[in-house]
A = this chain, B = another copy of it.
Amino acid sequence: MLSYESSLQALADPTRRTIFELVRSRPRSVAELAANVTVSRPAVSQHLGVLERARLVRHRKRGTRHVYHPDPAGLAPLREYVESLWDDVLTAFAAAGDEDGGNGDARDEE
């Protein structure tokens, strides 16, 4: 699996995105994260596993607590991918025009 795929799929889930937003603003423990979302603590732990596999977060053991903090390693490929899409789509869009529903002249071009 390409690197930006896992990041894309990880951030697609709303709960997981909320957790990542919390970790992004400030490093937090699992219990602190679970207190700020509607799901249980094991669910948060599973989401953190997905985020960590996607290289979006890392964790550091602080005694019995696992403190999670963001990691740019997984976000960088996603950022590059979106940027490449952005450039190509702008070019393709400018070449095609911006009208959509109108079916004025029907020329066959294939």
Contacts and interface: CB of A to CB of B under 8 A. Distances in A.
Consensus secondary structure, chain A interface: helix
A102 B58 CA distance: 12
Copies in the complex: 2
Interface residues of A, number: 42
A69 B93 contact: yes
Given A89-B70, A93-B71, A60 B24 contact: no
A93 B70 contact: yes
A26 B100 CA distance: 16
A1 to B, nearest CB: 9
Interface of A: 5, 8-9, 11-12, 14, 17, 24-27, 58-63, 69-72, 75-76, 78-79, 82-83, 85-86, 88-90, 92-93, 96, 99-103, 106, 108
